[in-house]
């Protein structure tokens, strides 16, 4: 979802700094991308506004993708999310993507000195920024601890689905 992808070169990643601001502009650009769903995401959507929605299966992962003649998420209407309160965790993270500091250090990437780092337990996390999001640079500073909590919940749900 506009986040760091496996084919993205680490040296091309942008990192959030203490000066980073974000406010959604309701442009719908982030809703044009494929979203991988955890089983818990699907249950939240079914219990929420999405009702008994139809999900597509890609391999062994459920996804939320373009639907029929729409080039965007099936729940996007007039640039508004129809399941906003129960939207998937991956959507809640956008445009930020926490990355473990140890992973970045392991590949020898130089982290900008002003990059935001949040420590949780013995691990530290930096935040890459989804490129092209028009909401970057607007509004308030993000709640980094909250973003990291969502990320850790997503990792836990994905791990639970693999067992």
Distance, CA of 74 to CA of 160 (rounded, Å): 26
- Residue 16, both tokens: 């959030």
> Where in the chain are the domains?
14-162
Structure tokens at 103: 């992973």
Tokens 């040296």 sit on residue: 11
**Tens digit of pLDDT at every position of the chain (163 positions):** 334 444 455 556 789 999 999 999 988 888 887 788 888 888 888 787 655 555 554 445 577 665 555 567 878 888 888 888 888 999 999 999 999 999 998 988 888 999 999 999 999 999 999 878 899 999 999 999 999 999 999 999 888 766 5
What length is written for the chain? 163
pTM (2 d.p.): 0.79
């Amino acid at each position: 979802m506009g986040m760091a992808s496996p084919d993205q070169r680490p040296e091309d990643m942008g990192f959030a700094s203490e000066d980073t601001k974000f406010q959604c502009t309701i442009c719908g650009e982030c809703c044009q991308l494929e979203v991988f769903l955890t089983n818990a995401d699907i249950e939240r959507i079914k219990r929420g506004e999405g009702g008994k929605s139809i999900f597509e299966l890609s391999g062994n992962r459920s996804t939320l993708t373009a639907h029929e003649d729409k080039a965007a998420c099936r729940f996007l209407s007039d640039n508004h999310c129809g399941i906003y309160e129960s939207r998937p965790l991956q959507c809640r993270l956008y445009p930020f993507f926490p990355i473990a500091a140890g992973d970045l250090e392991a590949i020898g990437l130089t982290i900008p000195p002003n990059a935001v780092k949040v420590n949780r337990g013995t691990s530290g996390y930096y935040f890459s920024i989804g490129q092209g999001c028009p909401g970057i640079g607007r509004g308030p500073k993000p709640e980094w601890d909250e973003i990291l909590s969502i990320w850790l919940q997503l990792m836990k749900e994905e791990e639970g689905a693999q067992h």
